[in-house]
A and B are shown apart, each in its own frame.
Chain A
Amino acid sequence: MAMASDPFGFAPAIAVFPLVAFVITLLFGRHLPKKGALPGIIATGGSLVVSLVMAAAVAGGGEHHAQLYEWTAGAAASETGAETVAFTFGILIDPLSALMLVIVSLVALLVHVFSLGYMNAEGETGLPRYYAELGLFTFSMLAFVFADNLLMAFMFFELVGLCSYLLIGFWFRTESAPSAAKKAFLVTRFGDYFFLIGVVAIAATFGTVGFAGEGSFVTAAETAIEDGATLFGFDAQTWVTITGLLVLGGVLGKSAQFPFHTWLPDAMEGPTTVSALIHAATMVAAGVYLVARMFGYYALSPTALAIIAFVGGFTALFAATMAVVKDDVKQVLAYSTISQYGYMMLGLGVGGYVAGVFHLMNHAFFKALLFLGAGAVIILMHHEQDMWEMGGLKDKAPVVYYTFLAGALALAGIVPFSGFWSKDEVLFDALAVGLSEPVILAAYAMGLVAVFFTGFYTFRMVFLTFHGEPRSDTAEDPHPVGWAVKVPLLALGTLAAVAGLVNMAPIAKLAGVDITFLEFWLDGEYGYVEGLTYHHYHETVAEMAFEESYIGSETTTMLLSAGLSLGLALAGAVTAHTLYNVPDPDRHTTKLGGAYGVLKRNYYQDEYQVWLAEGLTLPLARAADRFDQTVIDGVVNGTSTISLFGSDWVKRIQTGIVTNYAALLVGGFIALLLVFGYLGGWFA
């Protein structure tokens, strides 16, 4: 740790670079070449380099935990007896955050580069604003990732939310973009409300909001549970569950999990590059990353874990079914994002910390790829997004096609593309726990069924977009794309294809070789922070929550699970192939019957949420307003009327005639005398 030149000293620079780019672009973007893209590219490139240095340092056995700034500290007795509480900014670089920093800065860099082709080349206006917001977005997310405590995480979590609001509403002159931005902001804010309460509750309970070390709330919670403490009238574990679920509110909002997922499809109103960033590395990833970051805390509560797992499994299936009937290429991807984050939640919820993080990483690559690919398609199609207007783009734009295909294979989970390995591991972990926990088994079943749908909608999208005959004039003669589009696609395409190789658990088991590198990475084989390792989490989960069981042996179960999911994915892909990989595909909507309408309307989720707002909240608000207007205001106005009337009356006592005064004075005195004389019995 104590190296001569500690590379960790540069850690703050990771976030500072994009912040500087933000300031520069905001102030001088108008006058810069490329309207401010260059500072952003340089800054995110710098962040990537420093992040890689951090990762290398962690690989070399290092870790970093330092306080940067103290907001305030003071004596405040907490429920567990800690006497002081301090609110600080600090940096925590451990395997998890180092990995995430690399992912975020890499995706941000590629998005910046891609934007040259997507925004600059297309002659968009307001580019300095775009790049400035992109810089701020990257800064917020990076600072969120290396936050060493919950309060700092919350602050940057909010900043991330603000930036996505700004970017989703980038085309603020249209009607739909501002509305989508507002929706994203409000829905996530609803979740964050609970998050904030959770932060306060944790601070009040444990007197600390730190993630790592002896003074972390995770350790404090562990101690409290071991001591059998009673916190705020609850059993310690129950209280951990309650606070954990409060924080989870923010996670569900940000990661677009049911029932807070409705904002995400609308968020497609933002530029496609922004969608790529939001879905792959920043906004939506923030939620799941937070669960991974404080996984030790959730590991203490089987209830919270089960809820995470179940919500995850349910969302995975739920969103996947909706993706099946979407016509807009970005909509399909949006629902696939919701679904994939469901898998991550499922993985984390069953204690599969490595699986969850693994899928988070792979998804970052292939979803960024798919969105950028979709962006490329949109350029090709002159900003047409309806897949039924496309077709046959395969031969016109081979680079886009093959990279997109790599992403699609990864998303569908076809071996050996990255998504297969991580999704399989998630499902295997879920199955292992599910065999003894019915709730988890249900979550697993939903996740498994969703694999079929994933394969189906993914390839439906691929076939409709790239295969068959062109179905419109623009598809006949697409707009060419430049290097700024191709380079990021190629980079991500490669990653989507090979990233899964870092943790080939089934191969490792079968061949008996140690090639599960990601697991080693997260398990403290290299640098690590005490208490934040997979090992530790695994033990906690085993002790507090779930035990694992297998069908036959562990290897059989693993093969069974892998075979099942791969088979289903292929089945889905083949179905799509039969239905849509024809020169002139049909919509096949009638085959779904009544289900089509339900799916097309997204299970009426928007409708019921709108109903909640208009049918329930609004009348309630109206009633409250009426109460306020009539009763409260009435009382207030009545009071003032009475007061003023009384005032007039009182004024009249003062007649100006001194004999009246004398009479009143004596009269008042005598009244007082009578009362007291009576009470004191003076007249007896």
Chain B
Amino acid sequence: MAVVDLPQWLALAPALLLAATALVLFAFDSINPHTTNRTLFAGTTVVGALASLAVAVWYAAAGVGATGIENYGVIDIMGGQFVVDQLALFFMIVVAVVTALVAVASHDYLRDHAYQAEYYSLLALAATGMSMMAVSNSLVTVFIALELTSLPSYALVAILKDNRGSVEAGLKYFLIGALSSAIFVYGVSLVYGATGSLQLEAIAANLDAAGEMGGLLGLGILMLIGGIAFKTASVPFHFWAPEAYEGAPAPISAFLSSASKAAGFVLAFRVFTTAFPLEATTAVIGVDWTWAFVILAIVTMTLGNFAAATQENVKRMLAYSSIGHAGYVLIGLAALSTPSGDLVMGAAMIHLLVYGFMNTGAFLFVGLAEYWGVGRTFEDYNGLATQAPVACAAMAVFMFSLAGIPPFGGFGSKYLLFSHTIEAAAENTALLAAAAALVINSTLSLYYYSRLVKALWIEEPLRERDALATPTGLYAAIIAAAVVTAVILAAFGPIADVATEAAAAVVG
């Protein structure tokens, strides 16, 4: 194929397309600042996201990042500041998919909104940042991508300017984000101080140079973990998440909890596998950093699920469930100390992919409920199935998939994660605790997920409701997500192969 004839920098095309989309939207807005042609904006964003998705899929299919003679291998750009490999493409795909779903859904959700162009261009910019996070290969580019994601996100959460909750959430998100960014960037400086490098491979090569400064390097690494934990909404950097998700427009909650989280994880996968190879790092800092992830994984999934169990507000429940899922995925990093670490990490990646559909869909359903104006609590959702059976069926699919019940995608990814973790536990018994926590928390999660399904399908409505509209965009996004969630299990074999291969490539 023709990829080989393209200049190297075009390997970043999936991210660049999103950036271009943002610029086009700016251009529209500059030409006609007062237009509220939401179809144009949403359409442009969707086209940009789908183009990004198409290019990423094409690259992946063409063999960018894959080894072997007929493939193109890993592409380094700007002296290794960026790297395009299978891992990057996998997450670019996740980001593009979620962006497209969110943009489609936003079309209806923001129907009376004043700042249409700003909304979509911020969305596209944040997506650009996430896409860049997947390819960043130096702590500088990582930080820039991180901020490129974060800053538009703060604005997006607060974009409902007349809504107290939205503004308050935006501010809290910003404050916690600023603190986390500060910690992260301080960590970057400490790592630089210890190793003299910012490029990830170079850090790995210079770990020996840290020598006496092992503690300093260790502190730096912990601070990096902090920054990443903020992005992935892991304990104890999760405090922003319930507030932000609850206050933000539902599509933005979906966007942040799915795409942003996935981007945070690709960062973690890349930084920790490339820059801090386990043995060399342990030799310098005196402690195995996977332990941090073991602890974070167990605490995060437990806290997320426990807090979700008794929530009355659906969106808040989903926010905590999202924290719980971050805990599951963290096992992917916790297991890196074992020989089957790549398998576990592959499973974690698949979970993020499936999560991109089921969680986005779930938040979009909440968006739909907000669009209808039925209310926010479980009780307000009572009996919706009689009025909107299709959407409620889709929601049931999301809930059961999130809980990990066959035959939905969430079952497959959780099962893979669990079985590979058990396998890895043969080498590191702490993982047994992680696997046990995974099962226990999944069981607990079934409680609150099925509670919502029960409310939708079994309970009688508390009060009479008017007929509910069927906004095309929201419905389309929800149904698309539901269909993929339901059928993805059929294609699990090949997806698992791709993810495992991508993971194996970076774990090395």
**Which of A's residues lie within 8 Å of B, judged by CB?**
640, 643-644, 646-648, 650-651, 653-654, 656, 658, 661-662, 664-669, 672-673, 675-677, 679-683
Closest to A654 in B: B242
Q: Does B240 contact A (CB under 8 A)?
A: yes
Q: Does B310 contact A (CB under 8 A)?
A: yes
The residues of A that contact B307 with a CB separation of less than 8 Å are 647, 650-651, 653-654
Q: Are B309 and A643 in contact (CB under 8 A)?
A: yes
Q: Does B183 contact A (CB under 8 A)?
A: yes
Q: Smallest distance from the beta carbon of A657 to chain B beta carbons, Å?
A: 9
Q: Are B286 and A664 in contact (CB under 8 A)?
A: no
Task: Given A654-B242, A680-B286, decide whether A643 and B306 contact each other with a Cβ distance below 8 A.
Answer: yes
Q: Are A682 and B215 in contact (CB under 8 A)?
A: yes
Q: Smallest distance from the beta carbon of B508 to chain A beta carbons, Å?
A: 24
Q: Are B306 and A661 in contact (CB under 8 A)?
A: no
Q: Does B337 contact A (CB under 8 A)?
A: no
| Complex interface bits, B52-73 against A, C-beta within 8 A gives 1, otherwise 0 | 0000000000000000000000
Task: Given A680-B218, A682-B215, decide whether A650 and B239 contact each other with a Cβ distance below 8 A.
Answer: no
Task: Given A651-B307, A661-B172, decide whether A669 and B183 contact each other with a Cβ distance below 8 A.
Answer: yes
Picked from B235, B242, B286, the residue with its CB within 8 Å of the CB of A682 is B286
A-B pairs with lowest CB-CB distance, top 8? A668-B236, A682-B215, A680-B287, A680-B286, A661-B239, A647-B309, A647-B310, A650-B307
The residues of B that contact A677 with a CB separation of less than 8 Å are 215, 218-219
Closest to B288 in A: A679
Could you tell me which residues of chain B, from 298 to 332, have a CB within 8 Å of some CB in chain A? 303, 306-311
**Which of B's residues lie within 8 Å of A, judged by CB?**
171-172, 175-176, 179-180, 183, 214-216, 218-219, 222, 225-226, 235-237, 239-240, 242-243, 285-287, 291-292, 295, 303, 306-311, 444, 447
Task: Given A656-B243, A661-B176, A665-B176, decide whether A680 and B311 contact each other with a Cβ distance below 8 A.
Answer: no
Q: Smallest distance from the beta carbon of A669 to chain B beta carbons, Å?
A: 5
Task: Given A643-B306, A658-B176, A664-B236, decide whether A669 and B226 contact each other with a Cβ distance below 8 A.
Answer: yes
Further contacts, 16 of them, CB under 8 A, given A646-B306, A650-B307, A677-B218? A653-B307, A654-B307, A658-B171, A658-B175, A665-B176, A665-B179, A665-B236, A668-B235, A668-B237, A669-B237, A672-B292, A676-B218, A679-B291, A681-B215, A682-B286, A683-B215
Closest to A644 in B: B310
Q: Are B240 and A676 in contact (CB under 8 A)?
A: no
Q: Are B183 and A662 in contact (CB under 8 A)?
A: no
Bound-state CA distance A647–B320 (Å) is 11
Q: Are B179 and A662 in contact (CB under 8 A)?
A: yes
Q: Are A673 and B219 in contact (CB under 8 A)?
A: yes
Q: Smallest distance from the beta carbon of A247 to chain B beta carbons, Å?
A: 36
Q: Smallest distance from the beta carbon of A285 to chain B beta carbons, Å?
A: 46
Q: Smallest distance from the beta carbon of A423 to chain B beta carbons, Å?
A: 60
The residues of B that contact A676 with a CB separation of less than 8 Å are 218, 222, 287, 291-292
Task: Given A672-B292, A679-B286, A682-B285, decide whether A658 and B218 contact each other with a Cβ distance below 8 A.
Answer: no
Q: Smallest distance from the beta carbon of A459 to chain B beta carbons, Å?
A: 68
The residues of B that contact A662 with a CB separation of less than 8 Å are 175-176, 179
Q: Smallest distance from the beta carbon of A655 to chain B beta carbons, Å?
A: 9
Q: Smallest distance from the beta carbon of A51 to chain B beta carbons, Å?
A: 49
Q: Smallest distance from the beta carbon of B295 to chain A beta carbons, Å?
A: 7
Closest to A657 in B: B172
The residues of A that contact B183 with a CB separation of less than 8 Å are 669
Q: Smallest distance from the beta carbon of A653 to chain B beta carbons, Å?
A: 8
Q: Are A682 and B176 in contact (CB under 8 A)?
A: no
The residues of A that contact B242 with a CB separation of less than 8 Å are 654
Bound-state CA distance A675–B219 (Å) is 11
Q: Smallest distance from the beta carbon of A501 to chain B beta carbons, Å?
A: 66
Q: Smallest distance from the beta carbon of A662 to chain B beta carbons, Å?
A: 6
Task: Given A677-B218, A680-B286, decide whether A664 and B292 contact each other with a Cβ distance below 8 A.
Answer: no
Closest to B240 in A: A661
The residues of B that contact A683 with a CB separation of less than 8 Å are 215
The residues of B that contact A681 with a CB separation of less than 8 Å are 215, 286
Bound-state CA distance A667–B225 (Å) is 15
Among B295, B303, B306, max chain A CB count under 10 A is at: B306
Bound-state CA distance A681–B284 (Å) is 11
Q: Are A664 and B239 in contact (CB under 8 A)?
A: yes
Q: Smallest distance from the beta carbon of A563 to chain B beta carbons, Å?
A: 72
**20 A–B contacts from the bound complex (CB under 8 Å):** A640-B447, A643-B306, A650-B303, A651-B311, A654-B239, A661-B240, A662-B175, A662-B176, A662-B179, A664-B236, A668-B237, A669-B226, A669-B237, A672-B236, A673-B219, A676-B287, A676-B292, A680-B214, A682-B215, A682-B285
Bound-state CA distance A675–B291 (Å) is 10
Q: Are A669 and B236 in contact (CB under 8 A)?
A: yes
Bound-state CA distance A675–B447 (Å) is 34
The residues of B that contact A675 with a CB separation of less than 8 Å are 295
Task: Given A662-B175, A680-B285, A680-B287, decide whether A669 and B309 contact each other with a Cβ distance below 8 A.
Answer: no
Task: Given A643-B306, A661-B239, A665-B176, decide whether A680 and B215 contact each other with a Cβ distance below 8 A.
Answer: yes
Bound-state CA distance A334–B310 (Å) is 65
Closest to A646 in B: B306
Bound-state CA distance A677–B221 (Å) is 12
The residues of B that contact A646 with a CB separation of less than 8 Å are 306
The residues of B that contact A647 with a CB separation of less than 8 Å are 306-310
Picked from B218, B222, B237, B243, the residue with its CB within 8 Å of the CB of A665 is B237
The residues of B that contact A673 with a CB separation of less than 8 Å are 219, 222
Bound-state CA distance A665–B173 (Å) is 13
The residues of B that contact A664 with a CB separation of less than 8 Å are 236, 239
Q: Are B295 and A672 in contact (CB under 8 A)?
A: yes
Bound-state CA distance A640–B243 (Å) is 26
Task: Given A643-B444, A680-B285, A682-B286, decide whether A669 and B222 contact each other with a Cβ distance below 8 A.
Answer: yes
Q: Smallest distance from the beta carbon of A678 to chain B beta carbons, Å?
A: 9
Q: Are B176 and A672 in contact (CB under 8 A)?
A: no
Q: Smallest distance from the beta carbon of A431 to chain B beta carbons, Å?
A: 63
Bound-state CA distance A648–B292 (Å) is 26
The residues of A that contact B306 with a CB separation of less than 8 Å are 643, 646-647, 650
Picked from A648, A653, A669, the residue with its CB within 8 Å of the CB of B310 is A648
The residues of B that contact A653 with a CB separation of less than 8 Å are 307
The residues of A that contact B309 with a CB separation of less than 8 Å are 643-644, 647
The residues of A that contact B215 with a CB separation of less than 8 Å are 677, 680-683
Among A658, A669, A676, max chain B CB count under 10 A is at: A676
Q: Are B310 and A679 in contact (CB under 8 A)?
A: no
Bound-state CA distance A679–B288 (Å) is 9
The residues of A that contact B292 with a CB separation of less than 8 Å are 672, 676
Bound-state CA distance A656–B175 (Å) is 13
Closest to B448 in A: A647
Bound-state CA distance A643–B446 (Å) is 13
Bound-state CA distance A669–B299 (Å) is 13
Closest to A673 in B: B222
Bound-state CA distance A640–B451 (Å) is 14
The residues of A that contact B225 with a CB separation of less than 8 Å are 672
Bound-state CA distance A669–B228 (Å) is 12
Picked from B171, B219, B287, B444, the residue with its CB within 8 Å of the CB of A679 is B287
The residues of A that contact B240 with a CB separation of less than 8 Å are 661
Bound-state CA distance A668–B296 (Å) is 11
Bound-state CA distance A676–B214 (Å) is 12
Bound-state CA distance A669–B218 (Å) is 13
Among B171, B175, B215, B303, max chain A CB count under 10 A is at: B215
Bound-state CA distance A665–B218 (Å) is 19
Bound-state CA distance A679–B226 (Å) is 18
Q: Are B303 and A682 in contact (CB under 8 A)?
A: no
Bound-state CA distance A682–B194 (Å) is 13
Bound-state CA distance A662–B177 (Å) is 10
Q: Smallest distance from the beta carbon of A250 to chain B beta carbons, Å?
A: 35
Closest to A669 in B: B226
The residues of B that contact A656 with a CB separation of less than 8 Å are 243
The residues of B that contact A640 with a CB separation of less than 8 Å are 447
Q: Smallest distance from the beta carbon of B491 to chain A beta carbons, Å?
A: 24
The residues of B that contact A643 with a CB separation of less than 8 Å are 306, 309, 444, 447
The residues of A that contact B175 with a CB separation of less than 8 Å are 658, 662
